[in-house]
Amino acid sequence: MKRQTKISNAVIKRLPRYRRYLRELQKKGIDKISSNEFSNLTGYTASQIRQDLNNFGGFGQQGYGYSVDGLYNEISVILGLDKEYKMVIVGAGNLGQAIANHTYYYKTGFIVCGIFEINPKLIGMKINDIEVMDYDSIVEFVEDNDIDIGIICTTKDAAQEVADKLCFAGVGGLWNFAPVDIETPHHVAVENMHISDSLHSLAYHMNKSQNQEEKK
């Protein structure tokens, strides 16, 4: 498979969408799909789909299209979803509990192994049979259990300190839900998830549509 050292983030962010639709096609028993049919399904142009996939080798056959199973498996490998990841959550409030429940019920290959808190009222409670532990023990737990990903569901002020501790303990990636961008060493990947940004984008598109209707 063709691999390049520099693939744009825009391409990477489209791959999970492709994979999700391919999974739906698998469930329907569909074996192959053309780029035009896939375009109608995903909302991206056929040219965009072909261009994205060509970054990794293409995978399609002229006159045949794409093998649904083959493309699904290839994208899974590209995204690193052909293996499981062990995770810890820092922050056992509403958001931390929601993420723990989501990963538990949807069985996505991302396994929550530990949940940590500083609030003594939450320490000791169980979420899907996982006992919430004292944050002070997180470094030892991460090191002993070879944790891959840290999920930060703390306040803005605590997020960077938590990130530093998780990086020190040896995680390979951070999923940050605190309302602040965190910094990590170059070898630790990070996704800063700003929920409000998505709402602001939604507001823009709603108002844009409304203004277009009013001009008609």
For CA atoms 41, 45, 50, 54, give the dihedral sign: negative
Residue 57: count other Cβ atoms within 10 Å of its Cβ.
12
What pLDDT, on a 0 to 100 scale, did the predictor assign at position 4?
Answer: 47
Cβ neighbors of 139 (< 8 A, separation 6 or more) are 165, 168, 169
How far is C-alpha 124 from the chain's CA centre? 28
What pLDDT, on a 0 to 100 scale, did the predictor assign at position 120?
Answer: 97
55 is in an annotated binding site: no
95 is in an annotated binding site: yes
pLDDT tens, 136-194? 999 999 999 999 999 999 999 999 999 999 999 999 999 999 999 999 999 999 999 98
Cβ neighbors of 64 (< 8 A, separation 6 or more) are 32
Confirm if 133 and 107 have CB atoms less than 8 A apart: no
What pLDDT, on a 0 to 100 scale, did the predictor assign at position 216?
Answer: 62
25 is in an annotated binding site: no
Residues of the chain with pLDDT under 70: 1-5, 62-63, 213-214, 216
- Residue 176: φ, ψ to 5°: -105, 115
In this structure, what DSSP letter does residue 118 have?
S
109 is in an annotated binding site: no
Domains of the chain as residue ranges with CATH? 9-78 (1.10.10.10), 85-196 (3.40.50.720)
What pLDDT, on a 0 to 100 scale, did the predictor assign at position 145?
Answer: 98
What pLDDT, on a 0 to 100 scale, did the predictor assign at position 2?
Answer: 44
- Residue 65: φ, ψ to 5°: 95, -145
Confirm if 97 and 51 have CB atoms less than 8 A apart: no
Distance (Å, rounded) from C-alpha 187 to C-alpha 182? 14
What pLDDT, on a 0 to 100 scale, did the predictor assign at position 1?
Answer: 43
